[in-house]
């Protein structure tokens, strides 16, 4: 969302180059609400931009919390969560890679051999790529861009007593696998999005 906002505000001529699809947060919440229209969806993560995204697209996600907000809420309520060991047979899926730099690319099927696929993180690197696209120097590319250096595992609302961004990347990468959740991809029309 941060990079989409950057483009909307400072590079509107690049809007046609954005992939016209819902973000993973929006797509997931939309699928939940389609399965159960009475469901309330809450996104919890390290990104303050997701709060703006939730506000900009009402009706998709009902609430966005950062990790520190959730931690504070649980502490105020006196809720303690016991650590449980991971089940080695559960959760080894590609989509767990989303919060690391290049994670979206590592989780998707890249079917078009005529395209280059690469990821960039950090606002300056992303700005440089946008400018190169506008100059016509970058074509036939799918570029995953993250405003935060290291992507979401180094987001502004990551608990700072956590591991370093490099170790967070390694932990996420080691935890993810190659499987899918076994869900069908929705038809394209259901995940389309327009940028203003």
* pLDDT tens sequence across 5-39: 999 999 999 999 998 888 889 988 998 998 899 99
pLDDT at 106: 85
What are the φ/ψ torsions at residue 119 (nearest 5 degrees)? -120, 150
| pLDDT of the residue at 135 | 97
**126-135: string of b/e by CB count within 10 Å (b at 16+)?**
bbebbeebee
For all residues of the chain together, what is the average pLDDT?
86
Indicate if the pLDDT at residue 40 is higher than 90.
yes
Q: What is the dihedral of CA 138, 143, 146, 151, to 10 degrees?
A: -130
> 69-83, 140-154, 165-179: which range is least confident on average?
165-179
Q: What is the pLDDT of residues 108-166, one digit of tens each?
A: 777 788 999 999 999 999 999 999 999 999 999 999 999 998 888 888 887 766 667 78
pLDDT number for residue 127: 97
| Beta-strand pair 116-121/63-66 | unpaired
Would the pLDDT of 4 be above 80? yes
pTM of the model: 0.83
Report, as an integer, the average pLDDT of 93-115: 83
Nearest-CA neighbor of 68 among 3, 168, 5, 156?
156
Partners of residue 118 on adjacent β-strands: 143
Residue 181: φ, ψ to 5°: -75, -5
Calpha distance 88→116 (Å, rounded)? 34
CB count within 10 Å of CB 194 equals: 7
Q: Answer yes or no: are the C-beta atoms of 148 and 154 closer than 8 Å.
A: yes
Alpha-carbon gap, residue 128 to 123, rounded angstroms: 9
Question: What does the pLDDT average to over 27-52?
Answer: 92
Q: Is the pLDDT of residue 181 over 90?
A: no
């Amino acid at each position: 969302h941060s990079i989409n906002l950057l483009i909307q505000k400072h590079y509107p001529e690049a809007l046609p180059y954005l992939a016209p699809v819902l973000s993973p947060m929006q797509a997931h919440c939309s699928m939940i609400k389609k399965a159960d229209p009475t469901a309330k969806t809450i996104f919890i993560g390290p990104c303050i931009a997701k709060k703006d995204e939730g506000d900009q697209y009402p009706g998709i996600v009902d609430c966005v919390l950062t990790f520190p907000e959730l931690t504070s809420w649980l502490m105020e309520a006196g809720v303690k969560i016991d650590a449980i060991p991971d089940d080695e047979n559960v959760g080894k899926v590609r989509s767990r890679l989303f919060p690391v730099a290049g994670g979206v690319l590592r989780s998707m099927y890249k079917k078009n051999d005529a395209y280059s696929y690469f990821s960039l993180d950090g606002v300056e690197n992303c700005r440089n790529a946008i400018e190169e696209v506008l100059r016509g120097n970058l074509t036939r590319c799918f570029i995953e861009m993250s405003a935060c250096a290291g992507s979401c595992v180094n987001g502004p609302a990551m608990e700072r007593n956590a591991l370093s961004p490099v170790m967070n990347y390694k932990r996420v990468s080691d935890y993810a696998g190659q499987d899918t959740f076994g869900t069908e991809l929705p038809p394209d029309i259901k995940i389309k999005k327009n940028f203003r």
